[in-house]
Structure 1
Amino acid sequence: MNTPRKNAAEFDEFVLRQQSTEIEAASVDWCQERDQWLDYLNVLYTAVEAFLKPYIDGGTIAISYKDVLLNEENIGEYTARQMVLQIGKQHVVFTPIGTLLIGTKGRVDVEGAAGKARLILADRDAQRPQIKVTVKRDGDNPRPVTEPPTDIDWTWKIATMPPQVSYIDLTQDSLFELVMEVANG
């Protein structure tokens, strides 16, 4: 067991690390992060509406929206839109999950009577999840830090279910397949 003085020194280091984490979090504009996420969500919904336009115009698919409350660390509570597709008696619901997720800029779950799928914001060139972790040295104490990549061209993709997650570009055809899969089409 550590001596009392060593425990105090380790605790001092722990407290300092927590303070630096708090300072890093305070340097992020969380309102801007939330607003950017909501903009990306609107881009998704606009794309889905465009892919389904012939069916919407023909009256065979109806789209509605309802507000849902999200709560994310640092951002707090905020309202986002949930998209609901009505295809005959089937409902397919696009529910935003959040933006502060590891390895992605945001996620939307798509659920129907037969199952669930995930849409994620990923780098346009990504084929599977990629997480880069760097180690920062604070004196003699290395600590892993996940740094957000810069200059990413974020785009919506379908993420297959674990354990072998891969990304599929969101196109009209892939959206049709996703909707049929979750609605048991």
Structure 2
Amino acid sequence: MGKKDFDEFIKKQRAKADEEREINWSMKRDEWLTCLDQLYKKILSMMKKYTESGDVSVEYREKAINEEWIGEYKAKIMILKFKGNEVSFDPIGTILIGAKGRVDLKGSAGTVKFVLVNKQSVGLREKAAIHVSGGSKTEPKEQEPEKIEWDWKIATPPPRIKYIELNEESFFDALMEVING
């Protein structure tokens, strides 16, 4: 029984290693940077009234991000400046648990996290599995991965993280929170 189990273990490890080799990390990075640009465009469309009037100015700075498997790459930090205040949209990365990407909105009064998650998702779910030793072992059935539609949302603070749809109302609430307005 021991050798058979070990053979099965080795087979699974080999399959896992092959799967990791097949991931196109350059493509994942490029998808993430495209989604980051889409977030910035969405925010700028919500800020259009203020940028056109000159009340808010927009700047970009480059940031080096180094992620395992992807390596180092450059991403843009978007900065909004307005009368005595400045906020930045600081990209954190794409290799995250539970999200395809994260950007932190930072201001003088705090930080709000924007996450790129499944559009259907309303928050993090915890999942537990219990295995009893002894009797017959049944492996959980692998499900086909469904096509995910990614969307930017605002994450509430832990411990019970919920996702709030990113729209004008939620964006301006987040903006006011980080500038203590």
- TM-score, normalization: structure 1? 0.81
What residue number does 1:181 align with? 177
Could you tell me how far 1:150 is from its partner in structure 2?
3.1
What residue number does 1:67 align with? 62
- Secondary structure of the 1:163 match is coil
Matched, 1:127 2:122: yes
Distance 1:149 1:181, change over 3 A: farther
1:155 to 151, 158, 161: 151
- Secondary structure of the 2:44 match is helix
Cα RMSD (Å): 3.0
> Residues 68-126 of structure 1, C-alpha deviation per residue, up to 9 Å, x if partnerless?
01111111111111111112121111111111111111111111000011000111121
Structure 1 residues 24-43: aligned runs within 5 Å: 24-43=19-38
Structure 1 residues 85-124: aligned runs within 5 Å: 85-124=80-119
Structure 2, unaligned runs of 5 or more: 130-135
- Secondary structure of the 2:92 match is strand
> Residues 138-164 of structure 1, C-alpha deviation per residue, up to 9 Å, x if partnerless?
xx99999x9994311100000000011
- TM-score, normalization: structure 2? 0.83
User: Which has the larger share of strand?
Assistant: 1
**Between 34-43 and 13-22, the greater mean CA deviation after superposition:** 13-22
Aligned residue pairs total 174
Aligned residues: percent identity? 40
